[in-house]
Amino acid sequence: MKRTSQLLFVIYLLVVLIAGMLAPDYYIITRNTISELGAQGFPNAWLMRAGFFILGSAVTAMVFALSKTKRWSFLQASALMGLLIYAGALFILGWWSDKNFFVLDHNLDSFLHEFFYRISLLFFLLSVTLNAMVVKDKNFIILSVFTFCAVLILRYLFSEFVDYQGITERMMQVVVVYWLLKLNSVPEYFFSKIENDMGKIASTLVK
């Protein structure tokens, strides 16, 4: 499962690259977003929409691979559930497309696409936080803190500098996929030391 999800992550990045290369001349990579590659009426829009499904499938496969651990906790279950909701939002992004450059075919589709984009971002950040508490690896915790801060900063830059939204969103995607790949490569889904200590304290109090 882990290798499958790793392959899907790589395919997703290739889809983003290829979709950008196949875009018409009026699509400017530095300014236009990834979602606009799959916009209503956009040439080869199916490619980017498929990309969202691929990324959602990659996250889902990773969750199933990580959930095979024999030890469970509420915190671990919450971390995995956050990732599943993130994956679900990605599937919806592929189904409901963004508005195009010229005529807005479906206002509802565009609204739902933007809404679930925000949902996916929210649950990704939540998943980063929870998984940093679950995985017992200092390097991964440091990476998670960096990822959390980087996504927030890039999201702010995305909102402030409209002419460079294409660059900031692509940088954000690289950061997101890199973190997901690192989480996917965790040899075993450990509890964090903090949670183990809390469990020991709780057991002592019960006795």
Domain that residue 137 falls in: 2-194
Q: Which of 145-154, 163-172, 183-192 has the lowest average pLDDT?
A: 183-192
Whether 204 maps to a domain, the answer reads no
Whether 201 maps to a domain, the answer reads no
**Has residue 199 got a pLDDT over 70?**
no
Whether 206 maps to a domain, the answer reads no
More confident residue, 145 or 44: 145
Q: What is the pLDDT of residues 65-92, one digit of tens each?
A: 887 765 667 777 888 888 898 888 888 8
Whether 95 maps to a domain, the answer reads yes
Query: What is the average pLDDT across 130-134?
Result: 87
The Cα 202–Cα 207 span in angstroms is: 9
Question: Model-level pTM greater than 0.75?
Answer: yes
More confident residue, 148 or 91: 148
**Has residue 198 got a pLDDT over 50?**
no
In the three-class reduction of DSSP (H, G, I as helix; E, B as strand; rest coil), residue 53 is classed as helix
> Whose CA is closest to 112, among 12, 199, 25, 40?
40
Q: What is the pLDDT of residues 19-52, one digit of tens each?
A: 989 888 888 889 888 888 887 777 888 888 899 8
Whether 8 maps to a domain, the answer reads yes
Whether 199 maps to a domain, the answer reads no
The tally of domains found in the chain comes to: 1
The Cα 168–Cα 105 span in angstroms is: 27
Whether 169 maps to a domain, the answer reads yes
Which two structure tokens, joined as six digits, stand for 78?
């919450």
